[in-house]
Structure 1
Amino acid sequence: MTSTPPPNSLHEVVSCMSGYDPDALPVAQAQQIIQQFITPISSIEKVAIREALGRVLAKDIVSGINVPSHDNSAMDGYALRGSDLSVNQTTTLIIKGTAYAGRAFAGIVNTGECIRIMTGAVMPESCDTVIPQEFTLNASTTQVDVPAGKVTAGDNRRLKGEDLAAGKTALLKGKILRPADVGLLASLGVAEVPVQRKLRVAFFSTGDELRSLGETLDAGCVYDSNRYTLHGMLTRLGCDIVDMGVIKDDPASLEAAFRSAAENADAIITSGGVSVGAADYTKQMMAQLGDVAFWSIGMRPGRPMAFGKIHSAGKSAYLFGLPGNPVAVMVTFYFFARNALLRMMGATIPELPLVPAVSLAALRKRPGRTEYQRGIASVASNGQLQVAITGSQGSGILRSMSEANCMVVLPHEQGNVSAGDQVNILLLEGLL
């Protein structure tokens, strides 16, 4: 359902790449090609801010008011003139009244006077300082003593517009709205917000050996786990999801599935059927219906991958053909599909932060490919972050992904790692 085609064909994009080799493609080059080929969707809708969490902001939000709207007190205490404070001795002030949050003091505070004030209450025009009540002495209903050195002029006053001034940009287009952002919108009096429409993603698994939950598990067959991990990852991204189930490995079924997905979704994600020696029709149908590249990426796990665009009945959808092994599906999704889907949503895409940690064991690593090993990060007694591998790193061992709380990212040029060496890890909290 992509409304506008990308500026270039996939062939044109890769033809500009120096040293492009689909049979030995570095991770960084594959990521670059995907980002250049992807075009964001343009449809916008307005939603109530209670429904805006996790949505992508479609326009800048400019504050129409000052927040706070007046100078106010940051403390329960006494509002006074800073010029009345004595540097060397206690200052005694006459209490003229009280200011409450939402109910300002209406009088005038003259030299030598103060008012009792509550947190959030509007500061009287002549007052610029608040002394917390716990710093005062001999307070009565009529006067209070302010010891020298307990407060200086201007302390404990929140300035008008200090949080956000009228006319300033509060939130930028492309931001994925978080709880704090929703609260900020409410503080500005914004009840509805323009957001990108939800990205519609169709996904299915291929393979005659796959069985859905509830079906009999015949000899040589396995339950399809990939659709459930994909469902979870796409839900985390806030996508509108179309689970098309398991598609049998025959041309008619595959063609019907690809055409339906292209006509009804913005993106298609498949698992299985893209390896070099795959004895199925998936790659054939991808090539027949679209502008698709088949890659052998220099990475582990997740070497085979297809990327491009599928066309049907005048509509099109971006395609991410992921490997069939469960861990490879997750790794290729996070390091290729995730950023592409966020770009399609119109989101500002922050880099996934890598954190240094000490490896507790030696790791075998061949230069010339990027490796993503499942790890368990912990904090040592000296406060240093450390990481241990979950065990066997086979791409079919989904249990290792369930046990992991991070991925150890070993870059393309990296060789073997010795115990005690520093490595970079990607914490999975918030991703998984």
Structure 2
Amino acid sequence: MLSLDEALARLRAATSPLAETEAVSTFDALGRVLARAVRSRLDVPPHDNSSMDGYAMRAADVPSRGGVLPVLQRVAAGQVGVRLEAGSAARIFTGAPIPEGADAVVMQEHCEPTTMLDGRPAVRVKTPPEAGQWIRRRGEDVRADAVVLEAGTRLTPQALGLAASVGAATLDVVRRPRVALFSTGDELVMPGEPLKPGAIYNSNRYTLRALLQQAGCEVGDLGIVPDRLEATREALRRAARGHDLILTSGGVSVGEEDHLRPAVQAEGAIDLWQIAIKPGKPLAFGHVRRGVDNEGGPASALFIGLPGNPVSSFVTFLVAVRPVLQALQGMPATEPAALALPAGFDWSRPDARREFLRARRGADGLLELFPNQSSGVLTSAVWAEGLIDNPPGHAIARGDLVRFLPFSDRP
């Protein structure tokens, strides 16, 4: 059997980044992947500004507590003051540019409004300032011409805010991967249809479609394909047209009713891998040739066949399909963010394969295991908050630190 790392290396090596890009509004770019880096055309902030509501002054003008300065101007955010006269102060608000000549801001809580003998407004400074205090310097966040977001970055809400802060109204992103999805099996019916004897509802179609959408893909749903060779070949031909990846669940073994493997071999090429993970050992990978109407694009679409058991399909998507989707979008190969958390259980009979155990955090901070780790128990994936990535043959004792992969950290 292949190790998961070996399988991922082969998958990424066979995946070429999509060449097509598009410009989208920064407002609408959440979850998209940058095709080109975002470079700032200005300093951020663009000028020295106050980080507090208070008074701008020269620190040297208030060497001791209780000094009184006339207030000769008022500067709000969006306004520009005049040069500060020596021995005076400016009323200033958060975000307002620092008047030329001022070198400190005293927050209003440390000041007391008063008047001069001639009736002019003034301020009594209760705490002597230090030069530079409460001033945000020009360019302290971003310097002009600096790259603020690299190509290959998946755009989060905070990344969109950063792009907006440097004036990027539109962003060049990789077009969404187009994925054709279908299931095989005469036993499958859709929810809402009568459940005849021997039939099951097609849960994988819903799970995989949602996972693809969550990963930023355009999904072409081809439904359920009958267990017949020619029907499977026709579905593959339709799926290859206009899609970058064909994703299926079930039907990739060598049984008489498993037609995907010979169908993909007839329409392209396929390898059936045994991957040393549990759940999700069987994985089919290959390609399907496109027809003559391909309009000059790649000659084939990638093919990945997932196991049919619902948890196996779910886990295999997370650990094997998502890296392919990232590679298509030009994202760097990165490991999922893992947490080292203590186990609240004993796992005394580990498998010889690398295990992905469904778990969640308990009230005591320890990880709990779902009681039934079978690959057919989809309730475990809903109950769980993530997966424990357990090495082959590794027993776990209560209190041991384990590698936990939260579902919430997956885009």
Category of TM-score, reference length = shorter chain: over 0.9
2:69 corresponding residue in structure 1: 93
Match of 2:43 among 45, 61, 66: 66
1:1-400, aligned counterparts within 5 Å? 24-86=1-63, 88-106=64-82, 108-137=83-112, 139-140=114-115, 142-148=121-127, 151-277=129-255, 279-313=257-291, 315-366=299-350, 368-380=352-364, 385-400=365-380
1:143-198 CA deviation, whole Å, 9 max, x = no partner?
2222345x421011111122222111121111111112222222222222111111
Pair 1:308–1:105, CA change in 2 (3 A):
same
Q: Post-superposition shift, 1:348?
A: 3.5
Instruction: Tell me by how many angstroms 1:411 deviates.
Output: 1.6
Distance in 2 (CA, whole Å) between partners of 1:195 and 1:174 is 9
Task: Determine the C-alpha separation between the residues in 1 that align with 2:158 and 2:46.
Answer: 19
Letter in 1 for 2:201: Y
Aligned with 1:420: secondary structure? coil
Q: CA deviation at 1:367?
A: 5.4
Q: Classify the secondary structure of the residue corresponding to 2:208.
A: helix
| Matching residue's letter, 1:175 | T
CA distance in 2, matches of 1:219, 1:177: 47
Q: Which amino acid aligns with 1:291?
A: A
Q: Is the 8 A contact 1:357 1:422 kept in 2?
A: yes
Which letter maps to 2:260? T
How far apart, CA to CA, are the structure 2 residues paired with 1:49 and 1:172? Answer: 15
With over 3 angstroms needed to count, the CA separation of the structure-2 counterparts of 1:82 and 1:348, relative to structure 1, is farther
Q: CA deviation at 1:365?
A: 4.2
SS in 2 for 1:264: coil
Shift of residue 251, structure 1, vs aligned partner? 0.8
* CA RMSD, Structure 1 to Structure 2 (Å): 1.8
**Amino acid of the structure 2 residue aligned with 1:165:** R
Deviation at 1:292, TM superposition (A): 1.8
Secondary structure in structure 2 of the residue aligned to 1:25: coil
Does the C-alpha gap of structure 1 residues 310 and 401 become closer, same or farther in structure 2, counting only changes over 3 Å?
A: same
- Percent of aligned pairs sharing the same letter: 36
Q: Aligned in 2, Cα 1:403/1:185: closer, same or farther, shift over 3 Å?
A: same
Q: 1:402 aligns with which of 377, 382, 407?
A: 382
Alpha-carbon distance in structure 2 between the residues aligned to 1:163 and 1:187: 10
Shift of 1:243: 0.8
Tell me the CA shift for residue 430 of structure 1: 4.7
Deviation string, structure 1 residues 272-324 (Cα, Å, up to 9, x no partner): 01235464211111222223211111111001110121113253111111000
Query: In the alignment, does 2:403 pair up with 1:424?
Result: yes
- Which whole-Å CA distance do the structure 1 matches of 2:242 and 2:130 have between them? 65
| TM-score w.r.t. length of structure 1 | 0.89
Q: Is the 8 A contact 1:63 1:168 kept in 2?
A: yes
Q: Distance in 2 between matches of 1:154 and 1:81?
A: 10
Tell me, what secondary structure is at the counterpart of 1:429? helix
